[in-house]
Structure 1
Amino acid sequence: MKPLDAHCHVWRLARGDYDWLTAGGAALSPIRRDFSVEEYPEATDLILVQAVPTRAETDFLLDIAAGDPRVVGVVGWVDLEHPDCAAEIETLARHPKFKGVRPMLQDIEATDWLIDHARPDAMASLVRNRLSFDALVTERHLPMLCDFASENRDLPLVVDHAAKPKPGPHPVWEEGMAALARLPHVHCKLSGLLTELTDPDRRDPLPALRSIFDQLLDWFGPERLIWGSDWPVLTLAASWHEWRNLTDLLLSGLSRSERTAIMRHNGARFYAVADQPIATSN
């Protein structure tokens, strides 16, 4: 089974809009260079996800997707409060590999921006064109996101990086994620978890990851968890192969069909890459 990496990035710094990366501190220096699909570590199908809030970068990713069969989908960016955003979504939807949008909610100061400022006609356009919504959020957004998801039940939604949990008990995160999981159109990505660990936990990451994963599995089940790498941001914490091996350990107690669902079928179904069966226990 060839996995589907439902969350990876590529960038070309000379394009000039990666401000978070070029102006970042020393911690980002290992990834402050160009990354291309050709460098991706495995022969895996890929969903490219936007990394800056510009239409130019979305067009850049779609150009890559048009010329590389490994890229089966692109999650782009649209200014969801612009009066013409619904029409822009209609235009992007004509590209066969455009699969959805991701506003960078974690970087917007107003926690309720999505509800207060994003245009309802943009959400209607996403639904009409069978597109999806990636929620790049942290713990502070979860009550708002639950309200948004409840009001937009026809819009497939996935929580990127499981809302970036920290190890240990966090009642707000737990309550928020459990509430989202009660909505059947909401999914969760197993991605970005390693980079949120503290340095001590990174030295032996499995216990901390197991604690997070077990809760996510209980809430979302194997039918709504979607695997991703968050490469190359991942490499700030570990290699792609280390994350893949840790994933195998986390999924080791599941049936083969459940593992395959998380590693490929759920992401393919969510992003309408192909018709895939829902996992069932063996």
Structure 2
Amino acid sequence: MMKIDAHQHFWKYDSEKHSWIGDDMKVIQKDFLPEDLQPIYEKEAISGCVAVQADQTEEETNFLLELADKNEFIKGVVGWIDIRSPELEKRLEYYKQFIKLKGFRHVVQDEPDIGFMTRPDFQKGIALLEKYGFTYDILIFPSQMEAALATVKKFPKQKFVIDHIAKPDIKNGEIDGWREKMKALAAQANVYCKVSGMVTEADVDTWKYDDFVPYLDVIFEWFGAERIMFGSDWPVCLLGGSYAEIKGILETYTDKLGIEEQKAVLGETAKAFYNL
């Protein structure tokens, strides 16, 4: 079984660039590079990964592409590009030469406008991603799910994937509104979902497996294994546990599934979605 970690990050820690890593996150206030991750993958039998942007600059995209060029286990990169720029098409023309660059992401969760994804300049950019064959990772909070739904409906041929199951408030068990919006998103055949980033939406100190089951039930019921992929969110996940513990949540849940479904969730879906 080829296991792919569809969502992780690398960085050379910089307190200014990575200001989102507060003093309550000291465990990740340091460099995290391929040489730190590869031994974990060998131990956990992970075949490869998709490295996702953590900083909103093209410098970040280039940094990840350089790492991918030097490390075969980095199978794909989700970079950053200014999707709203009038120069976007020129930049996409430039970036299409990089085989390992699979798509892009914007940190929409940090945008104060809950309707950010419906802005005309943003949607014009999404149309260009579709033209050039790049995927788009959706990073949002539940309050932004309606704008995401409007966007994915407008671009039915564009491949979208929801990061971190849209970050429901697992810590407080809030599920109802999120569930209905996720059902609507899953009804769009061009939308996939990453089971990632859950522990940091739970209580990082006291979480237990059962906290995640209601949310996983929703994701698996509405998306099906063929549109679900595993992502560790390493090293951010270390705030809530070891790599093995985070991976273990999904492995425990998928134990009840058939082998083909397990293969899909743990690798084949990511392989197909990102054309790895």
The amino acid across from 2:32 in the alignment is: F
Is 2:17 aligned against 1:48?
A: no
Cα deviation code 1:199-257 (max 9, x no counterpart):
5751xx21111111111100101111111100000000010011122221110110011
Cα deviation code 1:97-117 (max 9, x no counterpart):
100010100011111112115
Change in CA separation of 1:232 and 1:267 when aligned onto 2, cut-off 3 Å = same
- 1:211 matched residue in structure 2: 214
Is the contact between residue 133 and residue 157 of structure 1 (CA under 8 Å) also seen in structure 2?
A: yes
Taking only aligned residues, the RMSD between alpha carbons, in angstroms, comes to 1.5
Is 2:42 aligned against 1:37?
A: no
Structure 1 residue 120, shift from structure 2 partner: 4.1
Is 2:5 aligned against 1:8?
A: no
- 2:131 matched residue in structure 1: 128
SS of the residue corresponding to residue 226 of structure 2 reads coil
Structure 1 residue 270, shift from structure 2 partner: 0.5
Q: Which runs of 4+ in 1 moved over 3 A?
A: 117-121
Size of the aligned set, in residue pairs, is 268
Change in CA separation of 1:14 and 1:197 when aligned onto 2, cut-off 3 Å = closer
| Structure 2 residue runs without a partner (length 5+) | none
> Match for 2:117 among 83, 104, 114?
114
The amino acid across from 1:177 in the alignment is: M
Separation in 1 of the partners of 2:161 and 2:223?
Answer: 11
Is 2:203 aligned against 1:198?
A: yes
Question: % of aligned pairs identical?
Answer: 30
Cα deviation code 1:117-139 (max 9, x no counterpart):
53444223211222100000010
> Match for 2:178 among 173, 196, 208?
173
Separation in 1 of the partners of 2:93 and 2:253?
Answer: 39
Change in CA separation of 1:54 and 1:15 when aligned onto 2, cut-off 3 Å = farther
Is the contact between residue 76 and residue 100 of structure 1 (CA under 8 Å) also seen in structure 2?
A: yes
Separation in 2 of the partners of 1:113 and 1:234?
Answer: 27
TM-score normalised according to structure 1 size: 0.91
Separation in 1 of the partners of 2:123 and 2:256?
Answer: 42
